[in-house]
Amino acid sequence: MVRVQGWELFLVEAIEKARKEPFQWGVHDCATWSFDVRFVLTDEDSASIWRGKYKTEAGAAKMLRKLKCKTVEDLALSILGLPLPNVLFAQRGDMVIGGEERALGICIGSDSLFLLPSGWTSLPTETCSKAWKV
């Protein structure tokens, strides 16, 4: 996967834009936002298969089952393949799984950002369990 030219600026813009949007299942949740950032950085839109097709947490779980996944981690594995051998190899713009919620997020360096129903949160990237090169 090759990142588009100017991806660094696109990453900053995507984060700034996303921080202004409220959490919304199927439109602006952890998986949709993380894959939307990946789309901005690579021009590959993997989230089109679920974006806008559910409106609740239960709907998200149903969509995961439809995609033959139990968790968003399974979803990431099915789309992105094997993770990096160590989360410490994650770089800015890479996708991560982290937190008690096991949410998808985006590495921004030593920290990673996550969009949860409770709002934005940042965690040390080193505490994430998996990372994928974007």
pLDDT digits (tens, 9 = 90+) for 65-86: 999 999 999 999 999 999 999 9
Provide the domain limits for residue 97: 7-132
> Is residue 68, in this structure, part of any structural domain at all?
yes
> Is residue 2, in this structure, part of any structural domain at all?
no
> Is residue 120, in this structure, part of any structural domain at all?
yes
pLDDT value of residue 44: 94
β-pairing, 103-107 vs 95-98, is: antiparallel
Rounded mean pLDDT of 106-121?
A: 96
pLDDT value of residue 100: 86
> Is residue 31, in this structure, part of any structural domain at all?
yes
> Is residue 1, in this structure, part of any structural domain at all?
no
Q: Quick one: which of 22, 1, 11 has its CA closest to 105?
A: 11
pLDDT value of residue 1: 72
> Is residue 57, in this structure, part of any structural domain at all?
yes
Does position 127 have pLDDT exceeding 80, yes or no? yes
pLDDT value of residue 118: 93
- The pTM of this model reads 0.95
What's the number of domains the chain is made of?
Answer: 1
